[in-house]
A and B are shown apart, each in its own frame.
Chain A
């Protein structure tokens, strides 16, 4: 007899590049210089992301963004940003090694996350392109829903990643955690 399709799949995402970017969006030179490097504008709407080409930018705060790239591109993109922002009051830091991303996907993905988060994960509220820093099972995480699918990315500090994965596996158990044996 065929196994029922799992309600949730958990995966550890491959290592990716991450650049922590801070600057004053009110200084027109800053967003312009960043857009010149990335090829698109920084998202200014709170808790949203923007993606094009090889980069995804997540809004972290009114003057803070996280740029996600391929792992091999991190240093080069950080270097190009630093060169494009020489005299501005801003900061560019490559931080990819510091955290780990998990993919939580499937029709019950939001139910698993909701067990440990206070965010409103109603699919109509936490829509495609939404992101938020919050707490998952008491640890700080960055949650991102890249598209319309029920795929959520949870980014946690590397030092918390084992705990986070254990917690997610346990929370997903009742929905048929497809990665439970991995």
Chain B
């Protein structure tokens, strides 16, 4: 069980949260210009790294807020937590 530091509420148990999957996925600026393969890539294909992963989480049974978590998928260690709209502490999240 993870202890997740909500940016507003502090450390709370994982059972209060919902994981929303990979963070920083950008909707294509012009979807009509995409072929099926690229559209499918945007909709369905996700990174599945062994190690550091940036994810969206929602404190659904707490303050109700979405935010970002950088988590190590091997150790489950939480590297950083940052609010929506904030750049990832390690950079390269645009």
Contacts and interface: CB of A to CB of B under 8 A. Distances in A.
Interface of A: 46-47, 60-62, 64, 118-120, 132-135, 140
A134 B61 contact: yes
Interface string B42-75: 0000000000000000000111110000000000
A47 B59 CA distance: 13
A62 B65 contact: yes
A24 B13 CA distance: 27
B5 to A, nearest CB: 12
Interface of B: 8-13, 15-16, 61-65
B66 to A, nearest CB: 11
B64 A60 contact: yes
Contacts of B64: 60-61, 64, 133
Contacts of B16: 118, 134-135
Contacts of B8: 46, 61-62
28 contacts: A46-B9, A46-B10, A46-B63, A47-B9, A47-B10, A60-B63, A61-B8, A61-B63, A61-B65, A62-B8, A62-B65, A64-B63, A64-B64, A118-B12, A118-B13, A118-B15, A118-B16, A119-B12, A132-B9, A133-B61, A133-B62, A133-B63, A133-B64, A134-B62, A135-B15, A135-B16, A135-B61, A140-B61
Contacts of B62: 132-134
Contacts of A133: 61-64
A94 B15 CA distance: 29
Contacts of A118: 12-13, 15-16
Contacts of B63: 46, 60-62, 64, 133
A47 B11 CA distance: 12
For B8, B62, B64, B65, the residue with the greatest tally of chain A CB atoms inside 10 Å of its CB is B62
A134 B12 contact: yes
Nearest to A135: B61
Per CB-CB distance, the 6 closest pairs between chain A and chain B, nearest first, are: A118-B13, A61-B63, A46-B8, A61-B64, A133-B62, A135-B61
Contacts of B65: 61-62
A60 to B, nearest CB: 7
Nearest to B8: A46
Contacts of B9: 46-47, 132
Nearest to A139: B61
A118 B13 CA distance: 6
Nearest to B11: A120
A156 to B, nearest CB: 12
